[in-house]
Structure 1
């Protein structure tokens, strides 16, 4: 069964588009998938199908400025003017809608890349509502974010918040192919598989190649500032199980360093964290044909052990 849902964003402007995938069996739990910057939730269809086949309801949406939400509202690359918690609050709205339809089931979050930042923000505020959280392709201290944020803020204060300056995007993300060898598309850092790169680059629902407004890029930097260090980790309920996964060739996670930074912040504040780093793989470990089944099975094993 598939439910298509639409709800008003926290930004009070956009109608967020979402989907709830339901297995044809007694569900054992719910997992909500939170996608990353510039992409959309249907890039996770392999994962969604696997989880549904294993008896989980899967809930997912496309963020404001992204995917079908951007298409329906006619607004790409701008997330509104309500600040850096907008997407996190939208994910909480989707959780509420999903649980109204399917109450009393263990509820998990999976967030990849920016989705992992959103998940980390979510568990600091709403972690008591969850049975567990999976963060994938996350960052510790995101390289250059604080310095770039100061420049973006100056542009916003000068009245250029709704404009799009590609120089800011380049400062935040333009370095990510530094270990990829020959670069032709610019997204090689996500995955070494050329078919995944091509699919990502040519996807009409993908916002990665579309300009992002200055105020939204600033919100992106502030989202990361909210989830740094033991100050953030201490806000996460200590009883919440967390599974932290990524690749050691992922620039977002500083080639493994950032993944362990996040796990160490959590351990230092009394949390139980499982950490799994896949050697030799870049950002989207769940899209490598060699390991995607293994990655998804690891997530299932984590959820099954915390039902």
Structure 2
């Protein structure tokens, strides 16, 4: 497998990302990471996709990982989505004949949901894992406070695999500080925009852990009820926590994602 860096100018500075490729190139997969993390945490997902025949592209969002910007600060997710749209354009320029799928996790799932509303008709399908859609009680509680507490995400809520939390806590590219009010307000605005924009009729899959304490499934279910259109599918996993792509049943989750992708990839030309 070949892995290489990519860079381009995003809406607020230099965007840094990665591409993964193997011997086959049947489709393109765009990976969209969540809050406070970076695309390097999805290397195992990219490798599984490459083994399936994908060419994989991912970026670190503004203020995240190796990209430019104040750490964990996002003031407009519409512009973040446009950074991802630039990634899609780059992928298309390098592989113009391949269909494209998008996989977004957590905050990246929120970005993926809005991306599907804006540009879903150009994608073969979209997959949302543990997405922030609908209502998120933690967001409302934090915004109601006069001062945001210095309380970073507890690594224990990510996965039943303790090694995942340990690696997250030790990762210098992960943001380990508090939420910033401007980012929280941008999250709230994006949720409102998604709710107002309504149904996605293109193929879209929602996957969620039933024991997710960080983004509880009940709040996301409300958002899914507004989002799911004619080609929507959903599945949840008992006892799984927030990072279902890093959970003890991660291979089952990846199998489900690949099954959905192959259901919606166009037939190859003769």
CA contact (8 A) 1:263 1:273 kept: no
1:150 Cα deviation after fit: 6.4
Counterpart among 158, 168, 183 of residue 216 in structure 1: 183
Match runs of 1:51-70 below 5 Å: 51-69=49-67
CA contact (8 A) 1:244 1:259 kept: no
Residue 191 of structure 2 is aligned to residue 197 of structure 1: no
Residue 71 of structure 2 is aligned to residue 110 of structure 1: no
Aligned to 1:303: 261
Counterpart among 111, 114, 119 of residue 126 in structure 1: 119
Residue 137 of structure 2 is aligned to residue 143 of structure 1: yes
Residue 214 of structure 2 is aligned to residue 263 of structure 1: no
1:271 Cα deviation after fit: 2.5
Residue 81 of structure 2 is aligned to residue 88 of structure 1: yes
> With structure 2 as the length reference, what TM-score do the two structures score?
0.89
CA contact (8 A) 2:143 2:181 kept: no
Query: Relative to 1, partners in 2 of residues 1:125 and 1:151: Cα closer, same or farther, differing over 3 Å?
Result: farther
CA contact (8 A) 1:137 1:252 kept: no
SS state at 2:19 partner: strand
* Number of residue equivalences: 263
In 1, the alpha carbon distance for the partners of 2:33 and 2:231 equals 24
> With structure 1 as the length reference, what TM-score do the two structures score?
0.79
Aligned to 2:92: 99
How much is the aligned-residue C-alpha RMSD, in angstroms? Answer: 2.2
Aligned to 2:197: 232
1:272 Cα deviation after fit: 1.9
Instruction: Structure 1 unaligned segments of length 5 or more: list them.
Output: 153-164, 175-185
Aligned to 2:8: 7
SS state at 2:205 partner: strand
1:192 Cα deviation after fit: 2.4
CA contact (8 A) 1:35 1:62 kept: yes
In 1, the alpha carbon distance for the partners of 2:148 and 2:245 equals 29
Aligned to 2:22: 23
Counterpart among 194, 203, 224 of residue 241 in structure 1: 203
